[in-house]
Structure 1
Amino acid sequence: MTHMTNPLATVDQLYQRTSFSALPSDLQDAIFFATQRLTQAAGILLRLPQSVTAQANVVLARYWLVESPLSYEFSDTSAAALFLVAKLGAHPCLPRDVCNVYAYLLSPNSVLFKGGGDIHGKDKEGPSPSNLPGIPYASFQSRIMALEARILYSLSFNTHVALPHPLAITYLQALDFLGLPRAEIAGRAVAYLNTALLSPQLLYLTHQPHALAVAAIYSAARDAGAKMPTCAWWEVFDVDREELGFLVVGMRSLEGWVRTQLEDDGVLTKGMVTRAYVEGEMRKRGLRIGNGSAGAGEDEMEDEETALMRQMDEKAAQLDE
């Protein structure tokens, strides 16, 4: 059964996430949502299966549990996670393709951050990605490769992700109470599961796939007006009422949160959130930027290396004596 479950976030990890670099919760939520949406869009343009993109979303979220989001540029982290997961599966991507797609999505011509439009554009083949010239491409590729290794190291090379999408379809086949075509309910349930990937509540890191699948089915059936039995049918799938209620609220609340952000001229209206923007916003608020930035992380790494080399020199000197 281990292939159907995921390693969940611990209380300490969730607490550590809230304390990284004294990052305000509104900025942290905006960073997470914008970066996960960027990952989804890149997966579409790279013609990757949704299963691959969803796994990249989860891997990225896990990585940010153990390392500050401010350690690297958010778009670079997204690209590295997607490139890594695709390479480990049956749909590897060329580094040039990944770089070109992200160059387009982050460009002024991108439809992703203009508040409307279809990511595929008018053409069925999708918009033409930008073609990065040599030097920017080499720089982007080197950052992605370094970040790929960093993600693997931070996650102890555990990139296993069990998705709830297949379980939702399987559970639907066992349910006869919906009174509507299963395809309609299945489509709505999968949409809820894909939306939950973008939720700053980290639903995929705090709940197992079977619970997410049941919550998506419940929400989909409710939206479609399907008649549900009065008994606690979700307990058949090992989900209690409290967990189901939390997940249903979490899945259905994301749309309202995004709408509020857009109406209030929030961070999401500024385009893709960048590390420079977040650091500038923190300075405006009078908040100290912690050691989560890339520069500080590199200095800390250099200090550790210096200390290790000093210890080795001291031990060598003792042996010589």
Structure 2
Amino acid sequence: MAHLANSLASPEQLFRRGTLNSLPSDLLDAIFFSAQCLTQAAGLLLQLPQSVTAQANVLLARFWLVEPVMSHEFSDASAAAVYLVAKMGPSPRPPRDVVYVYTYLLSRSSPLFRPAAPAPENDPSSYYLTDAAYQAARARLLAAEARILYALGFDTHVALPHPLAVTYLQALDFLDQGPAACEEGGLARRAIAYLGTALLSPQMLYLTHQPNALAVAAVYNAARDVGAKMPECEWWEVFDVDREELGFLVVGMRSVEGWAARMKSEAPGLKDGRMIARKDVEMEARKRGLQAGNGHEVVEDEETVLMRRMDERMAQAESTT
């Protein structure tokens, strides 16, 4: 049964995520959200199976749990995760395809982070790469891939909840409850959609909960949405999920949509309709009186340090009078 379970993040790893990066939590969440969206979009354009893209999402989240997010350009880390997972499966993609897809998604011709705006005019020159630029991008891709493998100890196993969700729907006879469960947008489709949404959650649900719990929560949410009749007993316990865990996951999955809308309107880079980059984080950090380095530290600038010391001396002087 080991192939149905994942290695979960420890409480210490989750705590160290903040200290490892020394970035405000809202910036970390913005980086995570934008990179996961970029990964999913790249999977679509590369015509990869949904399972491959989802595994890339999970590997990227695991990588950033043990490696500072600023150590690589966010898009390079995303591309490396997609390339790595695809290479290990039945649908490998050459580096050239991955590089060109990401170049397009990061260009001004891409509508990825501008879904509500009119479609941008397609300008091939905006995603044209010279041979030198391609070679540089390819080198970054392979370097990031090697770093992901090293950081994860070459453990790339990812068990997904999607097959379990369909199995649970069949076991509970949810798929035999008439048109509401079978029509477009019905139970199975909605359950899979919730599992896709959970990949974007800032709570990193795929790193803190096993696939069976994620599948049960997705089924529960989907059944509520379409008004399907659920068993009156505590059926989730049959699938080894307790009420408390189910409640947390149900709320976590349902809250992603509102949180994502806020990210798109407030996060640096995203609010301008483009992928967030390291330079955006560095600029935002400087605005807040922080200086973002290469991923190993974020330190206060000289002006902030001087003002803080003056405040401390004033407070000390007042306390002695």
TM-score range, shorter chain: 0.7 to 0.9
Separation in structure 2 between the aligned mates of residue 289 and residue 105 of structure 1, nearest angstrom: 25
User: Is the counterpart of residue 198 in structure 1 residue 197 in structure 2?
Assistant: no
**Which residue number corresponds to residue 80 of structure 1?**
80
Superposed CA RMSD in Å reads 2.2
Please, what TM-score do these two structures have when normalized by structure 2? Answer: 0.85
8 Å CA contact 2:285, 2:292 repeated in 1: yes
1:145-156 correspondence runs (5 A):
145-156=142-153
Code of the residue aligned with 2:172 in structure 1: it is: L
User: Is the counterpart of residue 98 in structure 1 residue 95 in structure 2?
Assistant: no
Q: Which runs of 5+ in 2 are unaligned?
A: 298-321
Please, what TM-score do these two structures have when normalized by structure 1? Answer: 0.85
How many matched pairs? Answer: 288
Residue 255 of structure 2 aligns to a residue whose secondary structure is helix
**Which residue number corresponds to residue 185 of structure 1?**
187
**Which residue number corresponds to residue 272 of structure 1?**
275
Does the C-alpha gap of structure 1 residues 216 and 154 become closer, same or farther in structure 2, counting only changes over 3 Å?
same
Code of the residue aligned with 1:280 in structure 2: it is: M
Separation in structure 2 between the aligned mates of residue 24 and residue 266 of structure 1, nearest angstrom: 13
Separation in structure 1 between the aligned mates of residue 266 and residue 36 of structure 2, nearest angstrom: 21
1:8-87 correspondence runs (5 A):
8-87=8-87
Does the C-alpha gap of structure 1 residues 73 and 293 become closer, same or farther in structure 2, counting only changes over 3 Å?
farther
Code of the residue aligned with 1:73 in structure 2: it is: E
Does the C-alpha gap of structure 1 residues 118 and 32 become closer, same or farther in structure 2, counting only changes over 3 Å?
farther
Residue of structure 1 aligned with 2:209, choices 207, 213, 219 = 207
Task: Kindly provide the CA deviation profile for residues 218-251 of structure 1, in whole angstroms up to 9, marking residues without a partner as x.
Answer: 0000011112222111001000000000001110
Deviates most, 145-154 or 267-276:
267-276
Code of the residue aligned with 2:292 in structure 1: it is: I
Code of the residue aligned with 1:114 in structure 2: it is: R
* CA deviation after TM superposition for structure 1 residue 186, in Å: 0.4
Separation in structure 1 between the aligned mates of residue 32 and residue 289 of structure 2, nearest angstrom: 22
* CA deviation after TM superposition for structure 1 residue 267, in Å: 5.2
8 Å CA contact 1:177, 1:229 repeated in 2: no
* CA deviation after TM superposition for structure 1 residue 268, in Å: 2.6
**Which residue number corresponds to residue 287 of structure 2?**
284
Separation in structure 2 between the aligned mates of residue 102 and residue 108 of structure 1, nearest angstrom: 12
Residue 33 of structure 1 aligns to a residue whose secondary structure is helix
* CA deviation after TM superposition for structure 1 residue 198, in Å: 1.1
User: Is the counterpart of residue 232 in structure 1 residue 234 in structure 2?
Assistant: yes
Does the C-alpha gap of structure 1 residues 190 and 92 become closer, same or farther in structure 2, counting only changes over 3 Å?
same
User: Is the counterpart of residue 5 in structure 1 residue 5 in structure 2?
Assistant: yes
Code of the residue aligned with 1:170 in structure 2: it is: T
Code of the residue aligned with 1:191 in structure 2: it is: A
**Which residue number corresponds to residue 314 of structure 1?**
none
Residue 41 of structure 1 aligns to a residue whose secondary structure is helix
Q: Which runs of 5+ in 1 are unaligned?
A: 122-126, 295-321
Does the C-alpha gap of structure 1 residues 129 and 203 become closer, same or farther in structure 2, counting only changes over 3 Å?
farther
Code of the residue aligned with 1:112 in structure 2: it is: L
* CA deviation after TM superposition for structure 1 residue 144, in Å: 0.6
